[in-house]
C-alpha cells in the first residue's frame, strides 16, 4: 500500500509494532477508532509481537472489530485473509455482514493455489 497514492493507516495495540520495512510511510496509531474514521477498507489481522515473535501481549477485547467500529468508516469494506477467531478478533455480524469481503478474498486464494500446484506439477 505504501507504493500506492492512498492514505494508509496502521493501527495496533501497544507492543505490536511492525518491522519498519513494512510500515514504510504509513501513519501508525494505537487508537483504533481514529484509524477507522472515514476508512474505505479495514484489513484485520491477528496480532502477535514482531519483537517478541509469537507472544500474545494483550487480550484487550476492545481490539476486536465490531459493527460499531465499521460505523466509523466511510461505509468501509472489511477484509481478512482467514482463518479468524470469530467473536474474538472480529464479530460475526462483521464477518457475515454486507460490508465483508472475506469470502471473495478467500475464493481468490483458490486461483493462487491452483497456479502453484500447476507450476509444481509441470516442473516435475
pLDDT < 70 positions in the chain: 48-49, 54-58
How confident is the model at residue 78, as a pLDDT? Answer: 97
The CATH number given to 9-122 is 3.40.50.1370
How confident is the model at residue 73, as a pLDDT? Answer: 98
CA angle 17, 4, 74 (to 5 degrees): 80
| Cβ count near 86 (within 10 Å) | 13
CA–CA separation, 65 and 90 (whole Å): 5
Query: Which pTM value belongs to this model?
Result: 0.82
How confident is the model at residue 56, as a pLDDT? Answer: 66
Write the CB contacts of 52 (distance below 8 Å, at least 6 apart in sequence). Answer: 15
Amino acid at each position: 500500500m505504501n507504493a500506492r497514492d492512498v492514505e494508509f493507516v496502521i493501527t495496533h495495540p501497544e507492543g505490536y509494532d511492525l518491522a519498519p520495512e513494512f510500515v514504510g510511510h504509513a501513519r501508525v496509531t494505537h487508537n483504533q477508532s481514529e484509524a477507522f474514521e472515514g476508512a474505505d477498507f479495514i484489513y484485520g489481522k491477528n496480532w502477535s509481537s514482531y519483537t517478541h515473535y509469537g507472544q500474545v501481549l494483550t487480550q484487550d477485547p476492545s481490539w476486536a472489530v465490531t459493527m460499531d467500529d465499521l460505523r466509523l468508516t466511510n461505509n468501509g469494506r472489511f477484509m481478512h485473509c482467514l482463518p479468524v477467531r470469530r467473536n474474538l478478533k472480529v464479530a460475526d455480524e462483521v464477518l457475515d455482514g454486507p460490508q465483508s469481503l472475506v469470502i471473495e478474498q478467500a475464493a481468490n486464494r483458490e486461483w493462487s493455489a491452483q497456479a502453484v500446484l500447476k507450476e509444481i506439477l509441470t516442473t516435475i
